[in-house]
Structure 1
């Protein structure tokens, strides 16, 4: 399905986007001008069109859909009042935002509540996700929220048990839509849509556009569908400086410690693929005298929330996180992101490094790459259309030998060598350990 392209807007103010006066007064004072994705998306959403919006991580996607939702809900409430509907019971939720992780759900909720809390019209936003006692959420639902922010699993459980109704939903947002697909949530999303009216506005927001999402958008978006691209698809924020170092696989932890001690960054987010490795690396950093902690999906929700809060408050210097957490970590002015290993999925690289250089700030992304990750690096180069040359790290000579031809950007150029038999067996074990199935299962 082909989406018509919007005209490119000039630099606009929030008032010129069509938002109501009450919402404009409620905006935080730091928001002077809308970002490009907000300029492109807000008028289209206010016009009632279905939308696929593609924009880089940290470019303001939450308010790009959040402000029009708040606008529509406040308008609906005011219309009810004018029609003398004070005695009519509060309606079920009018808008739903589905996100892939608990941390992202909390982040979105907090961002929208910051604005909604300043409105003169009372507006209730409800967060629904796992890891929170069901009884607490049921009690909060008695307040009849007009806007829901939820993870698919918890919301589906509530719908099946008839604790909540989605029959009044007029606006559906799939935030981080690519991640919802990648993490296997689409079957749950389809089941949830069966609880909603067929006639509703559907909005998909994403930083990357895998083929599966492109196909899905063509089927899901039917009401004057519009596709907007605030930046080139799958691109990396220009304010991010990327450095990639070739190191021995067994030297990565030592190299990480050396970098942290050398530069003394106030805050560093380290990404790693395996849950068990995250705990081990955090302990190693702690022994090296750094305030470090691990964050992954197997930790209790209370621990996850406290760990993230401690990191944001600078009580933790180094946070070692798995990709499950990549979409929910938002820290203002986070200076550095380090990939201790490259992600198996190239789009995840874009999301990982997008945790820095948010909202126009500058940031640094460092990746420690071993010979066994060359195929992954090639995929990342292809997706982002960036050269991403490899450099050598001082005091960490590379003694491992490549098992296959190294791409043009590699330090050694195009070299084809063979490992001794024992190294081959070790490499097979490594590949098996970090296969796609093992990678997903250990989040």
Structure 2
């Protein structure tokens, strides 16, 4: 189904809008943090549509308030239904199967979304609204004990939820509201098979909400098939846009000089908090060790770490007990660190949308931030893809004390375009192949004796 394009109506003045004007009830408005005086653009557009019962596809920049954009109407709808039940039953007997499900791609994001929603739900009275976190890394027995309390809202990663459903520990028969947070990631092949299996367990009559900062055009049709109930498309910013508050600096350096350049930058500027992104888990550990040897308080964070270690590392980073976290793209989506000043890409991601998510860890909620990328010649094709996606020039500058001596690769020219001429194989490789052929032919000859 084709989702109607958003209207081009002028943006209302933020001062003229409140959450109450959008339809958020007094119970929820009363428990909102004092700092949340006016809704963000995505909240202004999405909340009324969700409260009206429409399916929604919402695209908005990182750090723009998407969690509350779906979280507030979700909490309100479920809470109102609980209140109606409370009129006929004692509060203690209101246990029922979960009505709302929020799916997210990572454990860290699942924990963050749960905490954000629980902070509001815990203050609602007199009817208790229970929220359950279901993700890997937490003992299943512990989660089963909590499920016995019959939560009304579940936040989960697909793998753990599918395991529990398969074992009949939880039923999705009562789900009326489904949210795919970081929807583009959940629609990709890594998660999509599990998501499909879960959706087959959910009633067809439900409200579906898709939220993301990026959405490749290739996934548009798939997203459209999921939204069937008078869907509305909400674009609070240009598709795949980078927040204007992020200053981007890109430096061309030798591939072998990146670690030294990182250490030099950290020692020169002494930022209180820095999130460094790198693609490989082993490299994250190695870089963290090099930083520690250089006297920089650092830790690595990736999917092979025990969940207790992952949670503690993130908590220590947020509490300023760790200055630098070297992370894989586990940290690229949705994770919020208050006023994080700097993100550094030690390498460029192979997927251009991941770049948008990575640097979106800074300059959140209207704050300013700095995103630095250390780029080598071999990453020119990735840089071109990022430039095309974001429609930004992203010029490369030189970094003091780190002259570039590497030569452009055969596959990519200086301007990032691909060289279609096949590179010549080095002579030593030909010699190695001849030696291998000689070995094979000798073996074959001996086998015939």
Per the normalisation by structure 1, the TM-score is 0.91
Deviation at 1:256, TM superposition (A): 0.3
Secondary structure of 2:168's counterpart equals coil
2:164 — aligned with what? 158
Pairwise mapping of residues 8-407 of structure 1 onto structure 2 (< 5 A)?
8-10=10-12, 11=14, 12-84=17-89, 90-120=95-125, 121-182=127-188, 184-404=190-410, 406=413
Looking at structure 2, the residues matched to 328 and 294 of structure 1 have their Cα atoms a distance apart, in angstroms, of 18
Q: Contact (CA 8 Å) 2:53, 2:207: kept in 1 or not?
A: yes
Task: Summarize the alignment of residues 401-440 of structure 1 with structure 2, pairs less than 5 Å apart.
Answer: 401-404=407-410, 406=413, 408=415
Kindly state the Cα deviation for residue 421 of structure 1 after the two structures are TM-superposed.
6.1
Cα deviation for residue 414 of structure 1 reads: 12
The gaps in structure 1 that reach 5 residues or longer are 426-443
Calculate the TM-score normalised by the size of structure 2. 0.90
Partner of 2:444: none
Taking the aligned partners of 1:275 and 1:416, their CA distance within structure 2 comes to: 32
**Following TM superposition, by how much is the alpha carbon of 1:353 offset from its aligned partner in structure 2, in angstroms?**
0.1
**Could you tell me how far apart the structure 2 residues matched to 1:251 and 1:181 are?**
37
Query: Post-superposition shift, 1:327?
Result: 1.6
SS in 1 for 2:187: helix
* 8 Å CA contact retained: 2:4, 2:233: yes
Cα distance in structure 2, aligned partners of 1:356 and 1:86 = 43
Cα–Cα, structure 1 residues 423 and 195, in superposed 2: closer, same or farther, change >3 Å? farther
RMSD: 2.2
1:390-426 CA distance string (max 9 Å, x none)? 0000000000011245455x8xx9999999966998x
Range moving further from structure 2, 178-187 or 131-140: 178-187
Q: Is the 1:402–1:417 contact (alpha carbons within 8 Å) kept by the matching residues of 2?
A: no
Measured against aligned partners, the alpha-carbon deviations of 1:77-100 in whole angstroms (never above 9, x if no partner) come to 111123447686522111000000
- Higher gyration radius (CA): 2
- Structure 2: distance between partners of 1:159 and 1:401: 54
**Distance across 2 between alignment mates of 1:414 and 1:167:** 51
How far the C-alpha of 1:211 sits from its partner, in A, is 2.6
In structure 2, the CA distance between the partners of 1:423 and 1:179, relative to structure 1 (3 Å rule), is farther
Q: For the Cα contact (< 8 Å) 1:101–1:328, is it kept in 2? A: no
Gaps of 5+ in 2: 430-449
Aligned length: 422
Change (3 A) 1:422 1:303: farther
Structure 1 residues 50 and 274: alpha-carbon distance in aligned structure 2, compared to 1, 3 A threshold? same
